[in-house]
């Protein structure tokens, strides 16, 4: 019983063809997110997720709009809700955690300061 329960509750590894991955990229593009990059973290043992998807927005209003639409679109198309999200109050950087995919919606100055792509430069990156 425990083995089957563990199997059902474990989260499957994702690919770039996964419904949730595609839904996130589509939602960001739909709301005019800029400089969209996905980092494939699956080959990095200490990574906290399979993918990071990072994008920029020019204002706090757009950051919030992108983050809200990502959650709405993923819920509608992939039937997933985030495990956790944070940053909605200031909207300089909103993080949406779908366990194996973590979405970062950032203002340009915040992105330049934290340099996530440099921090995870071992990961394969793809621009959209």
CATH number of the domain that residue 70 is part of: 3.30.460.10
**pLDDT tens digits, 41-68:** 999 999 999 999 999 999 999 999 999 9
For 3, what's the count of Cα atoms within 13 Å in the CB-facing half-sphere? 0
In a domain, 58, yes or no: yes
Task: Return the closest-CA partner of residue 27 out of 82, 67, 78.
Answer: 67
| 42 and 13 Cβ atoms separated by less than 8 Å | yes
Q: Tell me how many domains the chain contains.
A: 1
Whole-model pTM: value is 0.87
**Residue 56, pLDDT score:** 98
In a domain, 103, yes or no: yes
pLDDT exceeds cutoff 70 at 33: yes
Rounded to an integer, the average pLDDT of 104-108 is 98
In a domain, 23, yes or no: yes
Sheet with 93-97: list strands edge to edge: 84-86, 93-97, 101-106, 51-56, 34-40, 124-127
The whole domain housing 57 covers 19-122
pLDDT exceeds cutoff 80 at 80: yes
In a domain, 14, yes or no: no
In angstroms, the CA 7 to CA 45 distance is: 21
């Amino acid at each position: 019983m425990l083995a089957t329960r563990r199997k059902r509750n474990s989260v499957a590894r994702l690919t770039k063809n996964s419904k949730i991955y595609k839904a996130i990229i589509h939602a960001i593009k739909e709301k005019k997110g800029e400089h969209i990059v996905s980092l494939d973290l699956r080959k990095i043992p200490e990574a906290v997720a399979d993918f990071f998807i990072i994008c920029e927005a020019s204002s706090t209003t757009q950051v919030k709009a992108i983050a809200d639409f990502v959650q709405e679109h993923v819920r509608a198309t992939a039937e997933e809700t985030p495990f956790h999200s944070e940053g909605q109050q200031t909207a300089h950087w909103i993080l949406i955690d779908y366990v194996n995919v973590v979405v970062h919606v950032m203002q340009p100055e915040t992105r330049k300061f934290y340099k996530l792509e440099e921090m995870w430069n071992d990961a394969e990156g793809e621009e959209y």
